[in-house]
Structure 1
Amino acid sequence: MPIFETQEERPTIREPLRRVGITNLRSVAKINWKGKIYTFLPLFEVTIDLPAEKKGIHMSRLVESITEAISEAVEEEVKEAHTSLEELGRCILGRLEDKHPHRRAEVWIRTHLIIPRETPASGRTTYEPYDVEVGVIKNEDGAFEKVLRVRVIGNTVCPHAMSNNNGKTHIQRAVGELEIRAPLDEDITLEDMVDTVESSFSSPTYTLLKTPDENAVVQRMFENPKFVEDVAREIFSRAKERFRGKIHVKVISNESIHKHDVIAETWN
C-alpha cells in the first residue's frame, strides 16, 4: 500500500508557523551529574518552524529524536548518561537535525528536582521538591542558547504590620521564580539557582519539621521580615552577582489577610 506524505502538500492558507511540534510527552531521563546518577520523569516539548509551503511536520520524527537521545543513556552504561538536562536537550536537537528540515527548533524539559536538606534544629534529612524547566533553543543563525527556570516555595513576614502592631504580624507562603537565558555553554546549575531564590525569603519552607524545627523557622521568619518586593530585589541582586545572562525574577505572595495575591517582578 503506498504511503502518501500529505505533510509535504501545499496548505490552503500559506502562512509560516513559528512553532509546531509535540508537547506534554512524558518519558524518562537519566543524568550523570558530577558522577551521581539522577533519574527524572519529565515532560518534553519539541517544536520546529514550518515554512508556508508545507502543510505539516512529520510528527513521529520529533518523537524519534527524543526516544533515541534518551535510549543512549537509559539502555547503555551509566557512564553514557547525559551530563545535564540541557545537554540532553542539545542531543535531541542534534538527532532532529538529521530527521527533519527546519531553521529554528526548541526543546523544553519540565520536571521536579529533589534536593536533600537538613532541618534547621533537629538536623534531620528532608527531601525537598522544586519545579524546574530547561529549554534549549537553536536559532535561525545556528547558534544555541538555553533557558533555565526554577520555582521555589518560601515564606514571608510583613514588616509593615509588625511595625504597627507591637511585633504582631501576618505571614504568608510566597513563590519565587528565577529564569536565566544564556549561551548553551555557560556554566549554570539548577541547584545554584534554587539556592539563590530560597535564601532570599524570610525563611525557607520544609517538608519535614519536628517541633524544634517549627520553632526555629518561626523565629527566623520574625527576625527577617520582608515585603514581596524585598524578596524579588534580593533574588535579582544575588542572581546578577552569581550568574551571567538575561535574568528574570517573579515573586508571588499568597496573602493570608487578603482575598488577592501580591506580585513583584523584574528583569534585565
Structure 2
Amino acid sequence: MKDVQNMGDTRGIAIQSVGISKAWLPFLAASEKGNPQNVTALVAKFTVDLPKEYKGTHMSRFMEILHEYANKPLNFTAIDELLKEALRKLDAKSAHITINFKYFIEKAAPVSKRKSLLDIDCIFSGDKVENKPLEFTMAVAVPVTSLCPCSKEIADYGAHNQRSMVKAAVKFSCPNGLTIEKLAEIIEKEASSSVYSILKREDEKYVTEAAYENPKFVEDILRDLVLSLRKLKGIDYFSVECENFESIHNHNAYASHEEYA
C-alpha cells in the first residue's frame, strides 16, 4: 500500500511538535507504599519533532507506545524509557509527553484515626532530547485549610477560614526519591490545617482548633512552602500557586512564585 506519510515534503518547514492529544487510557501510578495505583489518565499531549524532509509522522505509533507502557508504574524512569522509545520508533530528535491523572492518598483522621482517601490532581510531564537527560516535572494540586490572621486578631468570636488549593510543580533531571505522597505532605504542613474526607466529631474539633492556632494568609502559605521546597535536593526548578476560596468575600485570594534552584 502507498505510504503517503513517508513521502517527501518540499516546503522546507521542520515541525517542532507533532503527535496526539487528549487520549484517555488506564495507567499505573507508582505509589510510595510499593503497590502501584490504578488511575485513569489523560495524555494531554504526546509529541515529537518532525524534520522538514518528511510529510507526516506515524500517529499510530504514539498509541502503540502508550499501550505498551500503560502496565508500567509511572515515574521518572518509566517516562524516560517511554520517550526514548518514541525517539527510536519515530526517528525523532526530541519528544514530549504530559499526563494528567487523579491520585488518591490514604489519610488517617487526627484523633479517631478513621482512614479515608483524599483525591489530588497530578501531572507528570517529560521533555527528552536525544542524548540528553530527561527533564521531568511532577505537579500536584492539594486541598488544604487556611485561616485568616487578621480576622483572628480583630474578631471577638472565631476567625474566618476556608478551603484552599495549593499547586506545586517541581522539575528534576535525575531520580531523587520525591513521590506524590511526599510532595503532598510538604504542602499540607505549610497550611493552617489539612483537610480530610472523613472526620468524626473529635477530629472536627481538632482540625478547627489546629487551624485557629496556625493562622496564615495566602502569602504565608506560599512563602513557607517556597522555603520548604528550597530544601529539596536534586531539584532544578519549582513553581507554587496558592488560591484561597474566601468565605467572606466574593472573590478568591491568590499568590504564586517560581524559581530555579
Q: TM-score, normalised by structure 2?
A: 0.89
* Alignment-mate amino acid for residue 18 of structure 1: Q
* Stretch of structure 1 that moved more, 104-113 or 172-181: 104-113
User: How many Å separate the matches in 2 of 1:89 and 1:125?
Assistant: 31
| Counterpart pick for 1:89 among 79, 82, 95 | 79
**Structure 2 contact 48–87 (Cα < 8 Å) conserved:** no
**Contact 1:249–1:265 under 8 Å retained in 2:** yes
Alignment partner, residue 177 of structure 1: 167
Shift of 1:137: 1.4
* C-alpha distance in structure 2 between counterparts of 1:25 and 1:86, whole Å: 20
| 1:37 equivalent in alignment to 2:58 | no
2:107 is matched with: 117
Equivalent in the alignment of 2:63? 63
Partner of 1:265: 256
Q: 2:210 aligns with which of 210, 220, 230?
A: 220
The aligned counterpart of 1:3 is 2
Using the TM superposition, give the Cα deviation of residue 202 of structure 1 relative to its aligned residue in structure 2, in angstroms.
Answer: 0.5
* CA RMSD after TM alignment: 2.1
Contact 1:157 1:172 survives alignment (8 Å): yes
Does the 8 Å CA contact 1:65/1:93 hold for their aligned counterparts?
A: no
Indicate the residue corresponding to 1:144 in structure 2. 134
Please say if residues 106 and 137 of structure 1, whose CA atoms lie closer than 8 Å, have aligned partners that are also in contact.
Answer: yes
Partner of 1:20: 18
Distance in 2, matches of 1:171 and 1:86, equals 37
My pick for the range that moved more, 255-264 or 27-36, is 27-36
Verify: 1:254 aligned to 2:245, yes or no.
yes
In structure 2, what is the Cα distance between the partners aligned to 1:243 and 1:131?
24
Distance in 1 between the 2:2 and 2:225 partners?
55
* Identical aligned residues as a percent: 25
Aligned residues: 256
**Equivalent residue letter for 2:239:** H
Q: Is the 8 A contact 2:123 2:139 kept in 1?
A: yes
Q: Give SS of 1:168's match.
A: coil
Bigger Cα displacement from structure 2, 160-169 vs 253-262: 160-169
How far 1:221 sits from its partner (Å)?
1.0
Alignment-derived partner of residue 244 in structure 1: 234
Give secondary structure in 1 for the equivalent of 2:178: coil
SS in 2 for 1:198: helix
Q: Say whether residues 1:229 and 2:235 are aligned partners.
A: no
* Whole-Å separation in 2 of the counterparts to 1:122 and 1:68: 43
CA drift of 1:204 comes to 0.6
User: Which of 221-230 and 27-36 deviates more?
Assistant: 27-36
**Tell me, what secondary structure is at the counterpart of 2:216?**
coil
Cα deviation for residue 218 of structure 1 reads 0.9
* Alpha-carbon separation, structure 2, partners of 1:87 and 1:198: 27
Residues 30 and 75 of structure 2 are in contact (CA less than 8 Å); yes or no, is this contact kept in structure 1? Answer: no
| Residue number in structure 2 paired with 1:51 | 51
State whether structure 2 residue 165 is matched by structure 1 residue 165. Answer: no
SS at match of 2:234: coil
